[in-house]
Amino acid sequence: MAGSIDPAHQVALRPDPIHQFELHSLVPFGHIGNQQIAFTQSALYMFAAVAVITLITIVATSSRSVVPGRMQSLAEIFYEFIADTVHQATGDEGKRFMPLVFSLFMFVLVLNLFGMIPYAFAVTSHLVVTFGLAALVIGVVVVFGVMKHGTHFFGLFVPSGVPKPLLALLVPIEIISFISRPISLSVRLFANVLAGHIAMKIFAFFVVGLFSAGAWGLLFPLPLFLTIALTALEFLVAALQAYVFATLTAIYLNDALHPGH
Amino acid sequence: MAEHKSLTTPPANSDVKVVPSQGGHDAGHGTAHTGQPAHGAAFPPFETHTFLAQLIWLAISFGLLYYLMAKIALPRIEAILHARSSRLATDLDEAQRMKSEADAAGVAYETSLRDAQGKAQGIAQEARAKLAAESDKRRKDKEAELNAKIAASETTIRESTARAMGNVREIAGETAASIVERLTGHAPDRDSLDRALGAVH
């Protein structure tokens, strides 16, 4: 398959709203089976996100000042925000999951915001990435839940105080709802980012398209303002989806800590 | 397998690309198309042959991030916040302690001020009483002295008066005797003279 991971960078303007999601191989490594292994711009953005988060949370806090500077304040605000979220969802025992939820929140937030930079690539617009993160969350929930509560963890699927005959109906529903968690968690983030970027690109190209349509060009402010509004909305979505991802992670982790219904 | 000969050099026209077949079919018909989103075009997020690489990079980068956060960043931020809150707590305690100290000092000052005022008043009272007593005594002494002087003077006056009155009687008698002698030619006897002087008086 030659198409998807282009070795050459083609930043040329193309009215194709899907083009922006293509992966570009920066360092090709070859193949495993039919899998194409390469260091892509997506991987580069992932490591850039790690670098930015490290800058905020480690480099900026290295002076450990009692009166924080701007960057240290930022790190403290993020920390307290996520610590509050985790504490609200899971109580005191949830503190051990703080690094996981914090890393997920910062990773998703920074990647989403990277995607808002013009010409930049939105890593979270790839389902496999968001699904990988969601699978990690559910994996931690299941593994930790079974380790801590043994088979009692599966009481999660058995609502208490329900008559036996109804259980035959409810248990499958609970299992399906549990299995759909990683799917909904990943698809929510992926679809939001993907749809937002497609919408922005389409409306932006309406502006260009109207200019080449004679008198219709006078209408160009309409899609222009829509694009501006959509950009603002997408910034909101970028932050909100990171928050939603972190909050849902904390709520799911609460099931691992307290599996009772 | 079309999948195996990927990363072929792109066609000279960069807009033309080979569209991969969907669904893992090996028959990758190299459908060339120009930039438009033609039907059947690959949708990058669903190109399964990129999944493994993305997951690998995700695992490496997120694992690195998790390690950095869990081992360095979060303990450090927690320590900073903890240090700040304990610093604030000790500062507040210190401030509280200093305030109570200042209050105590204020109370002590008030008490000593009141004591001093009381003492000063006592001293003033005493001094006033002493002075009053002294001046009283002096006044009384003076009065007594003056009274004595007055009494002495009065005695002197009375004596002088008495003496003068005695002299007056004698002079009057002598004068009367000489008048009577001139008029009658002979000196009156002392008894009748005394009687006459007694009657006048």
For the stretch A18-61, pLDDT in tens is 888 988 889 888 888 888 899 999 999 999 999 999 999 999 88
Q: Backbone dihedral region of A38: left (phi > 0), alpha (psi from -120 to 50 degrees) or beta?
A: beta
**Would you say A53 and B65 are in contact if contact means Cβ atoms under 8 Å apart?**
yes
| Angle, helix A98-115 to helix B51-68, in steps of 10 degrees | 120
* Joined tokens for residue B151: 């009494």
Chain B residues with CB under 8 Å of A28 CB are 7
Contact A54 B73 (CB under 8 A): yes
pLDDT, greater one: A261 or A153: A153
Cα distance from B95 to chain A (closest Cα, Å)? 18
Using a CB-CB cut-off of 8 Å, the residues of chain A touching B36 are 15-16
Cβ contact, residue pair B20, A129, below 8 Å: no
How large is the greatest C-alpha to C-alpha distance in chain A, in angstroms?
71
Q: Is the dihedral of CA A42, A48, A49, A51 positive or negative?
A: positive
Does B9 have pLDDT greater than 70? no
- pLDDT, average across residues A230-249: 96
Separation in Å, CA A129 to CA A4, B7, B20, B59: 16, 22, 21, 10
Provide the domain count of chain A. Answer: 1
Check if the beta carbon of residue A94 is closer than 8 Å to that of residue A87: yes
For residue A87, tell me if it sits in a domain: yes
* Closest Cβ opposite residue B50 in set A4, A12, A49: A4
Residues A198/A17, Cβ–Cβ less than 8 Å: yes
Q: How far is CA A247 from CA A83, A243, B18, B67, in A?
A: 11, 6, 42, 21
Express each pLDDT in B35-77 by its tens digit.
334 344 578 888 888 899 999 999 999 999 999 999 999 999 9
Q: Is residue A44 part of a domain?
A: no
**Domain extents in chain B:** 1-36, 70-201
CA A195 to chain centre: 14
Q: Where are the beta strands (DSSP E) in B68-138?
A: none
SS3 B96: helix
Q: Find chain A residues with C-beta within 8 A of B32's C-beta.
A: none
| Domain residue limits at A162 | 65-257
Interatomic CA distance for residues B34 and B18, integer angstroms: 10
Domain annotation covers residue A37: no
ipTM of the modeled complex: 0.88
3-state secondary structure of A136: helix
